[in-house]
Amino acid sequence: MKKIIIANWKMNPDSGARAVALARACEEEIVSVKKVDVVIAPPHPFLREVGVSLNKALLGAQDVFWADSGAYTGEVSARQIRDCGAEYVLIGHSERRDSLAETDGMIHKKVKAALEDGMAVVLCVGESERVGGEISPVVGAEVQSALAGIKKTLLKNLIIAYEPVWAISTSGVGEACTPDMMFRARLAIEKIVADAYDQSVTKMIRIIYGGSVSPQNIAAILSVGHMDGALVGSDSLNAETFGRIVRNAAGMV
């Protein structure tokens, strides 16, 4: 399966001009990369201007609402972010689950709406606390509830990102997730998906890793961790560093 590296800029940078400059710098860094899909997910207000400045990278949004239109102050629909050029959307990021109290039920509605709208969904799952080296049942439960009742044919546009909260660089815990643990998370996610649908679905979806991804650890994440790609936070805000992550990922394919 083709690897994918996704830049999650979170609530950065602070102006459209800086967002476009960062996007252009990232494009220059990845100009010679062929074998990896690259997605850049800027904040909503910069989607269109970043989108038009991209040639190679694809555009992603960081969130979406479940309804198509209507009285939902402050929300944006899949149709609206697609109109800005976004093909991908992150759903269920741990920062939204924590700071905005997004529930599994809300995440399910968002995943369903975005997949039905034809977007590629990056469903983020991950336990908040490390339980030794074990994969917490929280991970499977989050996958199960997000996908409940969603048609199998829609899953070809699904990516699941395993992001243990304790391994995210800005979580304050800063513990490293080992590639061995990533692989076990992958197997646990595959089992949940296979039980809910069938084994063939595990070949349709990409399972990626997020949490302190860097140029130094990306190779092991893809090889030893058996991940199909990575979701990159802090290290995606520096074009040169992000470029090295993408190029190192391409070297592994």
Give the amino acid at 138.
V
Token pair, residue 94, equals: 């741990």
Residue least distant from ligand PGA (Cβ) = 233
Active site residue 163: yes
Q: Which amino acid is at 20?
A: V
Q: Three-state DSSP class for 3?
A: strand
Q: How far is the CB of 92 from ligand PGA (least distance, A)?
A: 11
Taking 3-state DSSP, the helix, strand and coil percentages for the chain, each rounded to the nearest 5, stand at 45, 15, 40
Residues near ligand PGA (CB under 6 A), total = 14
241 binds ligand PGA (CB under 6 A): no
Q: Which of 27, 127, 142, 163 is catalytic?
A: 163
163 binds ligand PGA, rule: CB under 6 A: yes
Q: Candidates 73-81, 179-187, 191-199, 205-213: pick the segment binding ligand PGA (CB under 6 A).
A: 205-213
Question: Which range in 133-141, 151-159, 215-223, 227-235 contacts ligand PGA by CB under 6 A?
Answer: 227-235
Cβ-based neighbours of 248, under 8 Å, separated by 6 or more? 215, 218, 219
Residue from 15, 55, 69, 170 touching ligand PGA (CB under 6 A): that is 170
234 in contact with ligand PGA (CB under 6 A): yes
Chain positions contacting ligand PGA, by CB under 6 A: 8, 163, 168-170, 210-213, 231-235
**Hey, which residues are catalytic here?**
93, 163
